[in-house]
Amino acid sequence: QKKIVIVGGVAGGSTAAARLRRLDEHAEIVMFEKGEHISFANCGLPYYIGETIKDRQKLLVQTVESMASRYKLDIRTFSEVIQINREKRSLVVRNVQTNEKYEETFDELILSPGARPIVPPIPGIEDAAALFTLRNIPDTDRIKSFIDNEKPKHAVVVGGGFIGLEMAENLHERGMEVTVVEMAEQVMAPLDYEMAAIIHKHLKEKGIHLLLNDGVKSFEENGTKVITQNGTEITTDFILLSIGVRPENELAKEAGLDVGKRGGIQVNEYLQTNDPNIYAIGDAIEVKDYMNGQPAMVPLAWPANRQGRAVADNIYGKKVSYKGTLGTSIAKVFDYTVAVTGNNEKTLDRLGISHEVVHVHPVSHAGYYPGASPIALKLVFDKVTGTIYGAQAVGKEGVDKRIDIIATAIKGGLTVLDLPDLELAYAPPYSSAKDPVNMAGYVASNIVESGLETVQWSEIDEIVANGGTLIDVRNPAELENGFIEGAKNIPVDTLREHLLELPKDETIYVNCQVGLRGYIATRILEENGFTVKNLDGGWKTYAQVF
Ligand code: FAD
């Protein structure tokens, strides 16, 4: 009879425990959890605070009793594992309620201790009375009861990642005036800047104060004043610190298990640490980036669940290889959905991997059926092979399925040339006969197959400033809502009449609203002997950042 011990009883740990039992009815399975709850819904916590989820009980996906009896598990809550003794294959466990310590042996050990919010030593942080972080049910209870009882009027959210923005929305829902302070030039790091810019505008529309390129310098007057590095002073009665998480690696480090540069426990493709009887999964481990093979930390629920099942399979000799993490993720930010998969341009630039991008702006479903709304969809790929590196989408509807389709395409080894050929479900309330993913595929295929040349939103101003010719092929009325300084307006339908006015000895740049008429204009000009580049994503992508 095998004795398998699990440290951590939430996403990864609980999944592993259930799978282990299904594989072996006779194993002894012990799961230690230092908190009171197991298998709770971390991802739902912001929505309970915002009161979209009204019933606290709904957050508790499994209780100790129900899980222990269904899977015949020895689940010990309030039990913190404080030491691993590799020679003896044993653990020291501390009962956090009584402080009593005891030893427990194992044949195989699975570590799924997660990651904890980073709390940097900002001056005044110790004295900030209403400063919170959000990771678990007790944190949630503290935040909720503070809001219910103290009725704060103003909140500062430090950090504009997905937890920070979900909380900004939920705090706003609870009637607070919210300021988000973010050190980077953009929120939502998995997006590239021009995609995040859509969210910046939306946050402002919703009345959120957004301080970018700024960090907290100090908390003053018991945390009722937040002083930023740029010198802004914000009076507040609630602070949420959400600047990221750090892997819980102390146990592993002390036991001599290898950890990576960013602190993640290192494992092989079978999720084994450098001790073959000790496995590690979830937020605590360093994974391989699925696209570029580099070490990465991706604290998300899908990897934790997938690894939880794989680790159990591997303990039973199934050799399930974890191939890396793509980082597919999604978040609701007020009326918008933001979703990404794979690598963005920032990552590829950092790694020196050359790439091409297209931006398209299709509608979520047939434009003539009520309720359609635009999706800004960006595809990042290799110009020669068509390999899909990643995708980002921001919109009000239908964002989730488009990113999921592309995530599936990546895992299936499809290239951008395959995307037009995906036969996707269509009726007017759901999509168009050319789905947004097909559209992105067509545009990208034009680049890979036909050598279509594009210019990016970030390059065009400089080109025009240096005397480049830019033709805006939209109708004059459309330019009333804005145009690129220096552009000459020649509507696409009259372009053939103006060919003699255009130079043949230099590259001509064209732009339209979203890139489609620009493409038509590009073809007309090329067929007439001009050298042409189309502004990718048109005015719409360009205007996102202003
Ligand atoms: P956890 O689920 O955190 O479990 C680790 C457990 O181990 C903890 O309960 C901890 O108490 C316990 N533990 C640690 N050390 C010890 C020890 N020494 N002894 C005993 N027990 C120990 N991901 C998404 O993909 N989508 C989302 O929408 C999303 N939303 C989120 C919202 C919030 C507010 C938070 C906090 C997280 C969210 N996540 C989301 C992330 C997701 O919850 C995590 O990636 C996932 O829970 C990781 O699983 P894990 O098993 O590694 O760690």
The whole-number pLDDT of residue 448 equals: 97
Contacts 24+ apart (CB under 8 A), 68-75: 71/17, 71/18, 71/21, 71/29, 72/21, 72/25, 72/29, 73/17, 73/21, 73/29, 73/30, 73/31, 74/28, 74/29, 74/30, 74/31, 75/9, 75/17, 75/30, 75/31, 75/33, 75/38
| Distance in angstroms (rounded) separating the CA atoms of residues 459 and 237 | 43
pLDDT band at 261 (very low <50, low <70, confident <90, very high): very high
Annotation says 43 is catalytic: yes
Give distance in angstroms: CA of 114 to centre of ligand 1: 5
Percent over 70 (pLDDT), the chain? 100
Q: Is 389 in contact with 348 (CB distance < 8 Å)?
A: yes
What are the tokens at 399?
């964002």
Residue nearest to atom 15 of ligand 1 (CA): 113
What are the tokens at 259?
């950890």
Side by side, the strands of the sheet bearing 28-32 are 74-76, 28-32, 3-7, 108-111, 278-280
CB atoms under 10 Å from CB of 203, counted, come to: 23
In eight-state DSSP terms, residue 414 is -
Chain-centroid distance of CA 474 in Å reads: 35
The residue behind tokens 């997006």 is: 191
| Distance in angstroms (rounded) separating the CA atoms of residues 399 and 161 | 18
| Distance in angstroms (rounded) separating the CA atoms of residues 423 and 421 | 6
Looking from the CA of residue 14, the nearest atom of ligand 1 is: 51
pTM above 0.95, yes or no: yes
What are the tokens at 348?
């590829």
- Provide mean pLDDT across the span 353-358: 98
Give distance in angstroms: CA of 115 to centre of ligand 1: 6
- Coil, strand, or helix at residue 337? strand
Q: How many residues does the chain have?
A: 546
The whole-number pLDDT of residue 25 equals: 97
| Distance in angstroms (rounded) separating the CA atoms of residues 259 and 266 | 5
Looking from the CA of residue 45, the nearest atom of ligand 1 is: 34
What secondary structure does DSSP assign to 210-248, as a single string? Answer: EE-S--EEEEEGGGTEEEETTS-EEE-S-EEE-S-EEE-
What are the tokens at 134?
């959000």
Give distance in angstroms: CA of 280 to centre of ligand 1: 14
Looking from the CA of residue 304, the nearest atom of ligand 1 is: 49
What are the tokens at 103?
């030893």
Give distance in angstroms: CA of 127 to centre of ligand 1: 27
pLDDT band at 546 (very low <50, low <70, confident <90, very high): confident
H or E element in which residue 5 lies:
strand 3-7
Give distance in angstroms: CA of 356 to centre of ligand 1: 35
Question: Per residue in 102-154, pLDDT tens?
Answer: 999 999 999 999 999 999 999 999 999 999 999 999 999 999 999 999 999 99
**Residue 447 pLDDT > 90:** yes
Give distance in angstroms: CA of 24 to centre of ligand 1: 26
Question: Per residue in 164-198, pLDDT tens?
Answer: 999 999 999 999 999 999 999 999 999 999 999 99
- Provide mean pLDDT across the span 301-327: 98
pLDDT band at 354 (very low <50, low <70, confident <90, very high): very high
Give ligand 1 pocket residues (Cβ under 6 A).
7-8, 10-13, 32-35, 42-43, 45-46, 80-81, 112-114, 134-136, 163, 248, 251, 282-284, 299-302, 304
- Coil, strand, or helix at residue 318? coil
Residue nearest to atom 36 of ligand 1 (CA): 135
Question: Per residue in 46-67, pLDDT tens?
Answer: 999 999 999 999 999 889 999 9
What are the tokens at 62?
């499994």
Residue nearest to atom 3 of ligand 1 (CA): 114
Looking from the CA of residue 135, the nearest atom of ligand 1 is: 36
Q: Which amino acid is at 130?
A: A
Catalytic-role residue among 24, 36, 43, 136: 43
| Mean pLDDT rounded to a whole number for the chain | 97
Chain-centroid distance of CA 6 in Å reads: 28
Closest CA to 307 of 112, 57, 44: 112
